[in-house]
Structure 1
Amino acid sequence: MILEVADIRIKPGQQASFETAVQFGLDTVIAKSKGFRSYQVRHSIESSDRYVLMLEWDTLEDHTIGFRGSPAFAEWRSIVADFFAQPPFTEHFNLAFKSAANVG
């Protein structure tokens, strides 16, 4: 499993509209993509214009080739791109280790 992390900065005052658009795009476009597993969207407490989008994919290629190389990527971007203050910064991660128990 691969974790895609996108650091997103949006235009000021667009939080509610952005959140609605992102959820719509995730549920109607990305969720239908081959290899997609799940997502989380986190909103910064300190920076009201900053979000972190975390998506789980079966493989790196499911995201970088399958999704990004498909018409679905353009559809996703058409839903969310107008909110971006700058292009998102995206990286991919492998799991190194995790806690063995739920720690509170």
Structure 2
Amino acid sequence: MIHELTSIQIQPGKQKEFEAAVAQGVESVIRHSKGYIRYNLNHSLAKPEHYLLHIEWETLENHMVDFRESPAFPKWRGFISEFFAEAPSTEHFETVTTSA
């Protein structure tokens, strides 16, 4: 499993609208993508406009090729990009250990 972690800084005062747009975009676009497992959206307690979007994929190729190179990617960005205060930053991780 691959963890896509995206740090997103949004415009001030747009939290509720952004959260709704993420939920709508995931439901209507991402959840239908090959290899998608689940997501969660985390909100910073210290920085009100900062979010961490965590999406789990079966493989890195599912995210980088099957999703990012498909027509689904611009549809997804259409839901959320208007809220960006700056370009998001994405990294990929894989789990190496976990607790029971």
Q: TM bucket by the smaller chain? A: over 0.9
- Aligned residue for 1:77, secondary structure, equals helix
Bigger radius of gyration among the two: 1
Structure 1 residue 83: deviation in Å?
Answer: 0.2
User: Which residue number in structure 2 is paired with residue 80 of structure 1?
Assistant: 80
> Paired residue for 1:32?
32
Give 1:39 shift.
0.3
Q: TM-score, normalised by structure 1?
A: 0.95
- Structure 2 gap ranges (5+): none
Does residue 57 (structure 1) correspond to residue 57 (structure 2)? The answer is yes
What's 2:70 paired with? 70
User: Structure 2: which amino acid aligns with 1:41?
Assistant: L
State the alpha-carbon separation in 1 of the partners of residues 40 and 6 from structure 2. Answer: 11
User: C-alpha deviations, 1:15-74, integer Å up to 9, x for none?
Assistant: 010011010001110000000000010000000000000000000000001100000000
Identity %: 47
Aligned CA-pair RMSD: 0.5
Normalised by the size of structure 2, how large is the TM-score? 0.98
Question: SS at the partner of 1:73?
Answer: helix
**Alignment gaps of 5+ in structure 1:** none
